[in-house]
Amino acid sequence: MTVTIRTARTLTAVGAALTLVSPFLAWTWTARYPGNLTLNGYPGGSQLVTLVTGLLAVAFTTRHLAPGGAVRALRAASLAALTSTWITVGAIAVTLGGVVNIEPGGWLAAAGTALLAAGAHTLPDDTVDSPPPGRKLPRAVEIAVITAVFLAAMYILAYGITTESAEEFLAFLPAAGLGVKALSASGLAARLSRITARNRTATAIAAFAAALAFPFTQTGDQYTAIADNILVFAAVALGLNIVVGLVGLLDLGYVAFLGTGAYTAALVSGSTFSTLDIGPWPFWATALLGMAVSLVAGVLIGAPTLRLHGDYLAIVTLGFGEIFRITVNNLDGTSGPSLTNGPNGINSVPNVEILGFDLGEPHTVLGVEFGRFANYYLLLLAVIALIVFVYARAGDSRIGRAWIALREDEKAATAMGIEGFRYKLLAFGLGASLAGLAGTVMAHLQTNAVPDNYKFADTAPPNSAFLLAAVVLGGMGTISGPLVGAALLYLIPAKFEFFNQYQMMLFGLALIIMMRFRPEGLVPDRKHQLEFHDEEVARAEARRAAAEATA
């Protein structure tokens, strides 16, 4: 056994050394492969991913940084390095026409990560079922840790957004996922969760500050436009999370409320294509009107349908979403009254103007020129902050506790005096109004409101299917879950456009894999996590009891 452990440690050490050296050597001879992997002594492109995941693996070779168990964390980090490196090396061979295009640095990276992963998976497991919580740090230190973590997370997300090719993004995605798994297995994620729970205000400020830093790192609008669309998607997903995550209602037509807000804003925007001789209204008035109209729509559709349950409610909401799209498609003056211009929609929606600042014009902030999409990024951050505030306050209130009680057991909640229909209608209306707010910004951002933007399912978000998937994939009942889910579900189709005819198939396959191995979502609610993994928890309790009995 001693020889096996010594051999495993040797393999791990040699693999880690080769992994860290290889990014400083050329992986191919031509700059035709994205990221320019031809330089010696200067990592670039996907080599940076291999270097970072290699450093993460080296960090977990010691128990000091892994209170929950170093070996499982090391295994996950080694797999992150392995998958990223082998995807890149394989893509070099496929893209450039053969393995002859792989330079020695590429072969060294492939061999090093393979040895690292082999050694890590040979080591005996040292997982601790109940790692020590760790001593409480001074408040200033905890705030510094929170800030550093959010800045690092924003840098990683920005790297994913700004990858210039599908090959680079394909190497980045599994590395990021397995890297997060390594942090979770090490116990560091749990400790960070306890630190953020003790400093909620500082956590919110740090998250907002990290997001605010993104446009300052960009020199153009190409990637800021992607970030804008992610924020719109995330804002709507957060609103849907009130209905699905807190109350447990399956809404398959939620995108209609986004469309309601968008059409309302377009009609009063002063656009030359608007059929109403109204406007332009100030943005604050447009936002309030969009929220109010969406709220009325939510109440009108919710009042007769929320007495239904389960599949029946889902079918009715699906029908409502399709009715909305067909209705705005027919309000063209021929099939119905002239209101929405039918399939042509309302175009040339002017840019938002706030306090004399036209968001369509470039402005200089702290010496950095902000273009149109950077301006809208700041507006959308404010919208996200407002929605997060409303979600957090509602979820922690008496109303939020009633919603959760209805979600867990409606009959028991009703027996305890909670009026289910009234509370569900309140959630439906609140979620609809938040979607309407996001819709008002979306109409100005995209400069139009057309029926094709509000389908149940399409190859690109936002649509009802992707919105629901973002909530489930990210984690129902949490704030950060839908944000993470929305970012992933927008980026993956955007980066993998070459899979156009297979997008929905790959999307479905990814969801199946996700639901099989992590049904509680990427950022799960603690209660949901325990429900889905109760057998694992029971086994951990049994191991702990056996260890105590033996001692």
By three-state DSSP, how is residue 360 classified? coil
Whether residue 108 contacts residue 18, with contact meaning beta carbons closer than 8 Å, is answered with yes
Q: Is the Cα dihedral 392, 395, 396, 398 positive or negative?
A: positive
- For the segment(s) 213-517, the CATH number from 3.40.1360, 1.10.3470, 2.30.29, 1.10.260 is 1.10.3470
Q: b/e map of 71-93 (b: 16 or more CB within 10 Å)?
A: bbbbbbbbbbbbbbbbbbbbbbe
Query: Could you state, in order of their start, the residue ranges of all structural domains in the chain?
Result: 2-208, 213-517, 526-551
Q: Residue 28: what pLDDT?
A: 92
Q: What is the pLDDT along the chain (551 residues), one digit of tens a residue?
A: 454 788 888 999 999 999 999 999 999 998 889 888 998 988 988 999 999 999 999 988 877 777 777 888 999 999 999 999 999 999 999 989 889 999 999 999 999 999 999 999 888 877 766 666 667 888 889 899 999 999 998 888 888 888 888 888 889 988 998 998 898 888 888 888 888 888 888 888 998 899 988 888 887 788 899 899 999 999 999 999 999 888 888 888 888 999 999 999 999 988 888 888 787 889 999 999 999 999 999 998 888 888 887 778 888 888 888 899 999 999 888 877 888 888 888 998 999 988 888 888 887 777 777 888 999 999 999 999 999 999 988 888 899 899 889 888 888 888 888 888 899 999 999 999 999 999 999 999 998 889 888 887 776 677 888 888 888 888 888 888 888 888 888 888 777 766 666 667 766 777 777 777 777 777 776 665 555 555 555 555 555 555 445 54
Give, for 151, the enclosing helix (H) or strand (E): helix 139-162
Whether residue 16 contacts residue 116, with contact meaning beta carbons closer than 8 Å, is answered with yes
Question: Any idea how long the chain is?
Answer: 551
One-letter-per-residue 3-state SS of 378-444: HHHHHHHHHHHHHHHHHHHCHHHHHHHHHHHCHHHHHHCCCCHHHHHHHHHHHHHHHHHHHHHHHHH
Which residues on adjacent β-strands are paired with residue 28? 102
Whether residue 391 contacts residue 379, with contact meaning beta carbons closer than 8 Å, is answered with no
CB atoms within 10 A of CB 465: 19
Distance from the Cα of residue 491 to its chain's centroid: 9
Q: Residue 551: what pLDDT?
A: 47
Give, for 375, the enclosing helix (H) or strand (E): helix 372-396
Whether residue 147 contacts residue 27, with contact meaning beta carbons closer than 8 Å, is answered with no
Which DSSP letter does residue 346 get?
E
Q: Residue 306: what pLDDT?
A: 81
